[in-house]
Amino acid sequence: MVSNALATESATPADFAALLSPVAPTLLESMARQAQSLTRRHFGRTISLYAPLYLSDYCGSGCAYCGFAADRPRRRRRLETDEMIAEMDTMKAMGFDEILLLTGERNPKADFDYLRQAVALAAERFHLVTIETFPMTVEEYRELAQIGCTGLTLYQETYDPEVYARLHRWGPKQNYMDRVESPARALSGGLRTAGLGILLGLADPVADAIALYRHIDYLRKNFWQAGISVSFPRIRPQQGGFMPAFTVDDRFLAQLIFAFRLCMPDVTLTLSTRESAAFRDGMAGIGICKMSIASKTTVGGYHYESLAENGQFIISDNRDMATFCAMLHRLGFEPVLKNWDSVFR
């Protein structure tokens, strides 16, 4: 079945499952070569770069695995207007033209109006403005699209309803279906892209990956004009000391990345600074075509460097922009900080 999956040009969920089977690692080198060929065919020798900006760490949810959970003893803060502008201007000066705005779940300190203000400020400075925040209504997504928001990232975390219920102990994030349906609402509201993912380690990674594949397949069929991306976050150390139930090693993560590239050749595959420098270097162009760099998981931290501590989780790849881009050039890749212009909206 694995050989058949490698040979097919029209993959099915069964093919994807075969590429994640225990037999598939014996063909991992073949998977890697084919994944590299498909990545170059669809994305060339480019790696798109972006950076996240955490706007607020206020949150009313009790996610057991998150450093921002409501029961974590930490000093909470949010960026005010002048701080947002300073952080965004610093990121722009670093060369970024794509920004990902993040908050906790919806709460009085960081609600829709607060997010709308941040999107408007970002759209004045960046050509690509995406959000990783709380689920919203179609009307709210439409309003954000009209002022310059181009896409969202929203991880389901896990598609196992029982595990989901156990890990999301209280708060708005307890609503499993509201989260599942949010990417479709966002695309219905006019956002151009949707990024999905699972937090690897919370539940059976194979079952979660297959559910994620089916979710993406549904979105691609029903919103065929939209761009879809997939991220592969693994649990990282964070305040609270949560330990995942499942271990996801580098070999399986590589297998998962290759499986997505083989079955969805034109989908953007993203790898963040959660992963080590060595692993990210090895995956560049072999499935992965987009990465974050110089990331801060604190509220602010780019302009106000004193804020760059006590983040949502501890990042692994701490390289700065120049060092990372030099590595890409050595490997024969072109770092891309801008590949789309808002004038063509």
The predicted-structure confidence for 268-309, as pLDDT tens digits, reads as follows 999 999 999 999 999 999 999 999 999 998 899 898 775 555
What CATH code is carried by the domain that includes residue 204? Answer: 3.20.20.70
**Do 232 and 268 touch, CB atoms closer than 8 A?**
no
* Beta strand pairing call for 193-197 and 98-102: unpaired
- DSSP letter for each residue of 247-259: ---HHHHHHHHHH
In a domain, 272, yes or no: yes
| Token pair in block for residue 254 | 């590589």
What pLDDT was estimated at residue 343? 46
Angstrom distance (rounded) from CA 272 to CA 295: 9
Boundaries of domain holding 275: 2-8+19-344
Domain count, the chain: 1
Task: Name residue, tokens 């065919």.
Answer: 41
Task: Name residue, tokens 């891309």.
Answer: 336
Other CB atoms within a 10 A radius of the CB of residue 48 amount to: 21
In a domain, 14, yes or no: no
* Beta strand pairing call for 193-197 and 128-132: unpaired
Most confident of 129-133, 297-301, 339-343: 129-133
The predicted-structure confidence for 179-222, as pLDDT tens digits, reads as follows 999 999 999 999 999 999 999 999 999 999 999 999 999 999 99
Lowest mean pLDDT among 66-70, 250-254, 302-306: 302-306
In a domain, 13, yes or no: no
What residues does 196 pair with on adjacent strands?
230
In a domain, 244, yes or no: yes
**Do 108 and 137 touch, CB atoms closer than 8 A?**
no
The predicted-structure confidence for 11-60, as pLDDT tens digits, reads as follows 888 999 999 999 988 999 999 999 999 999 999 999 999 999 999 999 98
In a domain, 316, yes or no: yes
What pTM, to 2 d.p., does this model score?
0.94
Lowest mean pLDDT among 55-69, 142-156, 321-335: 55-69
* Beta strand pairing call for 193-197 and 227-231: parallel
In a domain, 139, yes or no: yes
Angstrom distance (rounded) from CA 230 to CA 336: 18
Angstrom distance (rounded) from CA 117 to CA 140: 13
